[in-house]
Amino acid sequence: MQKFILSRKNHITVVSGILIAMAFISKLGFNNEVIFTWALLIASILGITPIVIQAYQALKVKVVSIDVLVTVAVIGALFIRNFEESAIVTFLFLFGAYLELRTLNKTRSAIKELTEMAPESALKQMENGEFEEVEVDEVDVGDILLVKTGAKVPVDGTVLAGEGHINEASITGESRPVTKKKDSGVYAGTILENGTIQIVADRVGEDTTFGKIIELVEEAQDSKSEAERFIDKFSKYYTPAVLVLSIIVFIISRDIELAITILVLGCPGALVIGVPVSNVAGIGNGARHGVLLKGSEVIHDFSRVDTVVFDKTGTLTIGNPKVADKEIYGDNIDTILGYLASVENESDHPLAKAVVEYIGDTKAYKVDKTDVVKGGGIVAQVDGHRVAVGNVALMEQENVQLDEKAREDIDKFEKSGNSLVLTSVDGELKVLMGIRDQIRPGVKDDLQKLKKLGVKNLVVLSGDNQGTVDLVAQELGLTEAYGHMLPEDKSAYIRELQAKGQIVAFVGDGVNDSPSLALAQIGIAMGSGTDVAIETSDIVLMNSDFSRLPHALGLTKATANNMLQNIIIAVGVVLVLLASVFFSTWMNMSIGMLVHEASILIVILNGMRLLRYKLRK
């Protein structure tokens, strides 16, 4: 019976509203007191029924809830035959609850959108080689699946055949399609906008990146911050205190209507709901923009961060060496580059790969008598010429003359933080290339945004040599820079900062820097949604998009401010209402309940503003 009544709360609200309207029409339009009285009485009894059930359920677990206060107040109003007040209070309370639920559902829309994006079926290759549609739960690791244009990728996997463009907004927050071909990784929940691909399942079900994202966001919205825990504890004692206050007022004044009014006005609804709604809306905004915030405690801590420590490689830089500078000496450059590419194709060294990638498609030459010089480079016979590719020491060993211009270029390239690759043909220097890990595009602007958001110290820690780290720090305007740092050195440095009272966030790749990610107050992973990044850190910037970092900090600051605003609104409204009972003549139960419900909607709508939050340019 209780379940039936509670499931019909909205219907009861509508009927109560109709009865109240009927009552006032009969009195004001037809001066009929009988219909007026009976309509309000029925509306009161009908409206109080679900509230009484909720109050009883709360008392069963030893909680004096808002429903208890309203129940006592309405029963008191009925006892003194104030049917007008009792009917209006129950209707406003039920209608307010309906509006709260409706608006709260909107704050959870980002999470709901995520769950709706989850794939439900897949085209699985059967034993006869044909593809059949099955439930996604029936897919196992190693199964081969077919994904057609417009379909959702059902699991995390690797492309076996075909090519297409995939919208990865559900994973990265970036709606621009990403090209996928053989050996490319794909994520569950993303959408193949065009093309057809076959994939092999690597991770299925809850183990997929998308499954982990949904799980993390749901856990985050259910977590409680320090402020929420305080409010829960506060309301646990506050609500009974209001009940005691109303009893004391009745004993002193012998005015039961005044005591009942205090019960209604003292309801802490806006205070209880104000902080959670801000928390859920903030986490929902982050989920939409490729930022995973693991709970409201993370929001609280990150909003107060004053020091951000970065790993260099793969965080501030792309993590992939590229040819940054080049000087040519002599003619026949296309032929020389062909020789160089042919020799470097013989090597697996990262610098060799960078050179081959830079040169691109060119004529390939047969390479003979390859001699790898340890710590120097490669010497080989190419098209009848002796070609040496390596560092300055190798050039000197090969008796290559380096004139003043070449010496100046070498010095300039080294000061720019480059690793050098020199190429000589038959003892003459032909090409000088400078290779370095490129700084991520837009990082400098993003770091300036962090400073404007109140971050005082920007520090880079790297295992690279100090000269290279200093150049990166100088170019990006960082506060401090330390090279030759092992993982344990980074952890020790973070402890030093924390001992000085600084609130530290560490930004790394989620794998090599896991000790620092765990040690810092806030660990932020540039993880592309990898398992380690998701598990280790407090915040994940999906797709390793550094530009999400200022948005994440701005969002947490806005969310923390929003929580504070809601607390001030809630407490302020209760104080004003209680003061108006004693110092005004116009305050009554109906007006109090109307203002009370309005304050709840105000804090909800204020929290919902976070769903539209964007970092100001």
Q: Are residues 411 and 486 in the same domain?
A: no
Q: Are residues 454 and 525 in the same domain?
A: yes
In the structure encoding, which two tokens stand for residue 139, read together? Answer: 């897919």
pLDDT tier at 264 (50, 70, 90 boundaries)? confident
The reply to whether 142 falls in a domain is yes
pLDDT score, position 415: 80
Q: Are residues 444 and 314 in the same domain?
A: yes
Q: Which of 387, 404, 438 is the last residue of a domain?
A: 438
Identify the CATH number of the domain in which residue 472 sits: 3.40.50.1000
Q: Which of 417, 438, 459 is the last residue of a domain?
A: 438
Which of these ranges, 64-68, 135-139, 406-410, has the smallest mean pLDDT? 64-68
Higher pLDDT, 396 or 514: 396
Q: How far apart (Å, rounded) are the C-alpha atoms in residues 503 and 560?
A: 16
Asked if residue 225 has pLDDT above 80, the reply is no
State the DSSP code for 500.
Answer: T
Query: What range does the domain containing 453 cover?
Result: 294-318+440-550
Q: Which of 527, 550, 573 is the last residue of a domain?
A: 550
pLDDT in tens, 81-93: 878 878 887 887 7
Average pLDDT over residues 22-39: 89
Identify the CATH number of the domain in which residue 374 sits: 3.40.1110.10
Which segment, 103-112, 261-270, 474-483, is predicted with the most confidence on average?
474-483
The reply to whether 364 falls in a domain is yes
Q: How far apart (Å, rounded) are the C-alpha atoms in residues 11 and 28?
A: 26
The reply to whether 574 falls in a domain is no
Asked if residue 135 has pLDDT above 80, the reply is yes
Measured in degrees and rounded to the nearest 5, phi and psi for residue 426 equal 55, 45
CA triplet 367, 371, 377: central angle to 5 degrees?
100
The reply to whether 600 falls in a domain is no
Question: Which of helix, strand or coil describes residue 193?
Answer: strand
Which segment, 163-177, 263-277, 283-297, 416-430, is predicted with the most confidence on average?
416-430
CA triplet 549, 550, 555: central angle to 5 degrees?
100
Higher pLDDT, 231 or 520: 520
The reply to whether 278 falls in a domain is no
Reported as half-sphere exposure (CB side, CA atoms, 13 A), residue 53 has a value of 15
pTM recorded for the entire structure: 0.68
Q: Are residues 133 and 173 in the same domain?
A: yes
- Tokens 């699985």 locate to 124
Element (H, E) at 381: strand 377-382
- Tokens 């856990």 locate to 219
State the DSSP code for 484.
Answer: S
Q: How far apart (Å, rounded) are the C-alpha atoms in residues 556 and 227?
A: 14
Contact 287, 170 (CB under 8 A): no
pLDDT in tens, 530-567: 555 566 678 888 777 888 899 999 999 999 999 899 88
Q: How far apart (Å, rounded) are the C-alpha atoms in residues 73 and 54?
A: 15
**One of 143, 156, 301, 311 is an active-site residue; which one?**
311
- Tokens 């971050």 locate to 455
Q: Are residues 314 and 445 in the same domain?
A: yes
pLDDT score, position 170: 63
Q: Are residues 380 and 473 in the same domain?
A: no
State the DSSP code for 134.
Answer: E
In the structure encoding, which two tokens stand for residue 235, read together? Answer: 């309301």
Average pLDDT over residues 465-490: 85
Asked if residue 480 has pLDDT above 60, the reply is yes
Interstrand relation of 156-167 and 191-203 (parallel, antiparallel or unpaired): antiparallel
pLDDT score, position 448: 94
Which segment, 32-36, 105-109, 186-190, 450-454, is predicted with the most confidence on average?
450-454
Is 301 among the catalytic positions?
no
Q: Are residues 310 and 329 in the same domain?
A: no
Mean pLDDT of all residues belonging to the chain: 83
Higher pLDDT, 583 or 501: 501
Return the closest-CA partner of residue 330 out of 427, 434, 435: 427
Q: Are residues 452 and 532 in the same domain?
A: yes
Q: Are residues 375 and 363 in the same domain?
A: yes
Asked if residue 226 has pLDDT above 70, the reply is no
Return the closest-CA partner of residue 44 out of 71, 10, 69, 24: 71
The reply to whether 269 falls in a domain is no
pLDDT score, position 283: 84
Higher pLDDT, 34 or 66: 34
CB atoms within 10 A of CB 572: 12
Average pLDDT over residues 306-319: 85
The reply to whether 18 falls in a domain is no
pLDDT in tens, 430-452: 999 998 888 888 999 999 999 99
Q: Are residues 381 and 491 in the same domain?
A: no
Indicate the number of domains in the chain: 3
Identify the CATH number of the domain in which residue 183 sits: 2.70.150.10
Element (H, E) at 429: strand 428-439
The reply to whether 20 falls in a domain is no
Return the closest-CA partner of residue 495 out of 470, 465, 516: 516
pLDDT score, position 529: 44
Q: Are residues 326 and 384 in the same domain?
A: yes
- Per cent of the chain over pLDDT 70 is 89
Q: Are residues 473 and 374 in the same domain?
A: no
pLDDT tier at 467 (50, 70, 90 boundaries)? confident
pLDDT tier at 223 (50, 70, 90 boundaries)? low
pLDDT tier at 515 (50, 70, 90 boundaries)? confident
pLDDT in tens, 318-352: 777 889 889 999 888 889 999 999 998 887 777 88
pLDDT tier at 159 (50, 70, 90 boundaries)? very high
Residues counted in the chain: 617
